[in-house]
Amino acid sequence: MRVLVIGSGAREHALVLAASHDPAVTALGCAPGNAGTAAFAETLGVDLTLPSAIAELAVSWRADLVVIGPEVPLVGGAADAVRAAGVPCFGPGADAARIEGSKSFAKEVMASAGVPTARSEVVDNPAHLDAALARFGPTWVVKDDGLAAGKGVVVTEDVERARKHALMLLDGGHPVVLESFLDGPEASLFCLVDGRTVVPLLPAQDFKRVGDGDTGPNTGGMGAYAPLPWSPPELVDEVVSTIVRPVVDELDRRGVPFSGLLYAGLALTSEGPRVIEFNCRFGDPETQVVLPLLRTPIAGLLHATATGTLAEHPPLEWSDEAAVTVVIAADGYPGKPRTGDVITGGEDEGVLHAGTRRRDDGAVVSSGGRVLSVVGVGEDLTAAREEAYARVSRVNLTGAHYRTDIAARAAAGHLAVPAR
């Protein structure tokens, strides 16, 4: 099978790495890729904002399967264009991808499906903002209604900070979604969906805040771990039956069946799981810890999802180990990152590249905010953390920063779901 992965981050590096271990894969391409994916896949050029260019590349490269990683091309209709060109594609069409591309659409779908989520209100006029804020908080949750790469959300007990963020979004022409705050630890559950069949993967937990102890602004994600030793054994079945399947059925009822990876971002509250958000693709950095634990070959699994035959696929097989990933970020991130610095010590297969490129002289340099995603796998979370941070210690990047507490509370047994 010739597999073409679209994207350039650590998520795509994780997908490429998993596909490289699949004996059914005879050729592997990544577009536009990065310095890390180049070790396993042919690097191909493409404009991620042009669905027609992605489809043309799939045809000219003779792909048997296209896997689209990022949300921007999915929301833009890249999967529609690839399928129209006759190539199987893993990823939802533009209409179904609105589950991530528009938070107000997602809320509407959840309301129709009877899915538990936070109370919300959309504000599209600054004149209505103060009255809306008065109906929420404390704590206030303010979100950009559209795509914001994980950085359009402010969660604060300061109403003035909430107001300032909302006004900034509105001034930029972006409607604002206000939500009630949900208690309890957060979790992410990825589900493969081929329109109707739902196959869950392992739940994971990511870390959005830039600093230790969940301090500082939100980011695209500073680390993650899987599985969740503190979660109840019935969690996955409950989330699939009360949240994922109703949303899948509702999208199908609306004539926009979802095919690809449906990501449920959850708060595990004292009243049960509640949806924080839906994404239409593999999450980053959770993918970097879920895929290393998957023993089922990935290419056939994603191809079955893309071709509507997921119900016929054998049950998934998983390692009984744990995985932790730690994101190494550039100086300045999540603001304007410093780029162009040489990276050394990142040659290990457990070091997944995100914002990197290879210079003409062969040196690997930083090219984005989240530069590397360093993965450790071990018999439990403690061992996986030790492996991940040992690899982090061998990486050198001027001005880099990372969190030192990824999975620490879970490994120490200090996390639990609130009693119902």
Q: In this predicted model, what pLDDT tens digit does every residue of 210-247 receive, in sequence order? A: 999 999 998 999 999 999 999 999 999 999 999 999 99
Calpha distance 2→254 (Å, rounded) = 33
Are the beta carbons of 307 and 64 closer than 8 angstroms? no
Backbone phi and psi for residue 34, each to the nearest 5 degrees, phi listed first: -150, -175
Calpha distance 220→208 (Å, rounded) = 6
Calpha distance 415→66 (Å, rounded) = 38
Helix (H) or strand (E) holding 249: helix 245-253
What three-state secondary structure class fits 21? coil
pLDDT tier, 150 (very low <50, low <70, confident <90, very high otherwise): low
CATH superfamily of this structure's domain 120-179: ATP-grasp fold, A domain (3.30.1490.20)
Q: What percent of the chain is modeled with pLDDT above 90?
A: 86
Q: What single-letter DSSP state applies at residue 417?
A: P
Q: State the residue for tokens 């079945």.
A: 237
In this chain, the answer to whether the domains covering 183-312 and 322-411 adopt an identical fold is no
First to last CA, the chain: 48
Q: What confidence score (pLDDT) does residue 118 get?
A: 81
Are the beta carbons of 210 and 216 closer than 8 angstroms? yes
Q: What confidence score (pLDDT) does residue 72 get?
A: 96
Q: State the residue for tokens 């490994």.
A: 411
Are the beta carbons of 142 and 218 closer than 8 angstroms? no
Q: What confidence score (pLDDT) does residue 148 get?
A: 61
Q: What confidence score (pLDDT) does residue 151 get?
A: 55
What three-state secondary structure class fits 342? strand
pLDDT tier, 104 (very low <50, low <70, confident <90, very high otherwise): confident
Put residue 149 in one of left, alpha, beta given phi > 0 → left and psi -120 to 50 → alpha.
left
Out of 49-58, 132-141, 342-351, 360-369, pick the least confident: 132-141
Residue 85 pLDDT greater than 90, yes or no: yes
Q: What confidence score (pLDDT) does residue 153 get?
A: 82
Helix (H) or strand (E) holding 91: none
Structure tokens that stand for 210 in this block: 């830039």
Q: What tens digit of pLDDT does each residue of 170-212 get? A: 998 889 989 888 888 999 999 999 999 999 999 999 999 999 9
Q: What confidence score (pLDDT) does residue 181 get?
A: 84
Q: What confidence score (pLDDT) does residue 149 get?
A: 58
Q: What confidence score (pLDDT) does residue 71 get?
A: 96
Out of 58-72, 76-90, 175-189, pick the least confident: 175-189
Out of 45-59, 76-90, 140-154, 371-385, pick the least confident: 140-154
Q: What single-letter DSSP state applies at residue 243?
A: I
Are the beta carbons of 28 and 42 closer than 8 angstroms? yes
Q: What tens digit of pLDDT does each residue of 265-294 get? A: 999 998 899 999 999 999 999 999 999 999
Q: What confidence score (pLDDT) does residue 155 get?
A: 86
Half-sphere exposure (CA, 13 Å, Cβ side) for 270? Answer: 4
Neighbours of 36 (CB within 10 A): 29
Q: What is the sign, positive or negative, of the torsion defined by CA atoms of 154, 323, 389, 412? A: positive
What three-state secondary structure class fits 192? strand
Among 3.90.600.10, 3.90.226.10, 3.20.20.70, 3.40.1580.10, name the CATH number for the domain at 322-411.
Answer: 3.90.600.10
What Rg value do the Cα atoms of the chain yield, rounded? 20
Nearest-CA neighbor of 68 among 150, 1, 4, 147?
4
What predicted TM-score, i.e. pTM, was given to this entire model?
Answer: 0.91
Q: What confidence score (pLDDT) does residue 143 get?
A: 87
- CATH 3.40.50.20, applies to 2-93: yes
Q: Give how far the C-alpha of residue 276 lies from the chain's centroid of Cα atoms, to the nearest Å.
A: 13
Among 3.40.50.300, 3.40.50.200, 3.30.70.580, 3.30.470.20, name the CATH number for the domain at 183-312.
Answer: 3.30.470.20
- Cα separation values, 188 from 55, 185, 196, 258, 285, Å: 30, 10, 20, 18, 11
Q: What confidence score (pLDDT) does residue 39 get?
A: 94
Residue 167 pLDDT greater than 70, yes or no: yes
**Residue 234 carries which side chain, given as an amino acid letter?**
E
Q: What percent of the chain is modeled with pLDDT above 70?
A: 99
Q: What is the mean pLDDT of the chain?
A: 95
Q: What confidence score (pLDDT) does residue 197 get?
A: 97
Domain ranges for the chain, please list them.
Answer: 2-93, 120-179, 183-312, 322-411
Q: What single-letter DSSP state applies at residue 314?
A: P
